[in-house]
Amino acid sequence: MLTVNIHEAKTQLSRLVDQASRGESFIIAKAGRPMVKVLPLDAGDESAVRRLGFMAGEIAVPDDFDHMGGEEVTALFEGGA
């Protein structure tokens, strides 16, 4: 992916926007450090991908979850199994 410094981006903004609209995303950097990523609007919103909590409300955790199987685990550690 093309990386341009902020000064170059200011002087060549029209060309860079045309490239981005054709699907050629680019990164604008300041002092060599990437600052923003420019991509076409129809590329989709990457931040819209939700991973954590995607099954909220679908799974029920029992109240005694922390103690489930405790007797068996204790027996295994104490040699009673």
Do residues 26 and 20 lie in contact, with contact meaning Cβ atoms separated by under 8 Å? Answer: yes
Is 35:28 a contact under the CB 8 Å cutoff? yes
Residue 73 belongs to a domain:
no
Q: Distance between CA 73 and CA 67 in Å, rounded?
A: 10
Establish if 28 belongs to a structural domain: yes
pLDDT of residue 44: 59
Domain of 1 in residue numbering reads as 1-40
53 found inside a domain: no
CATH of the domain at 27: 3.40.1620.10
pLDDT at position 81: 54
Res 80: pLDDT: 63
How many domains are there within the chain?
1
Extract the residue ranges of the chain whose pLDDT is less than 50. none
Looking at residue 55, its pLDDT comes to: 80
Q: For residue 70, tell me if it sits in a domain.
A: no
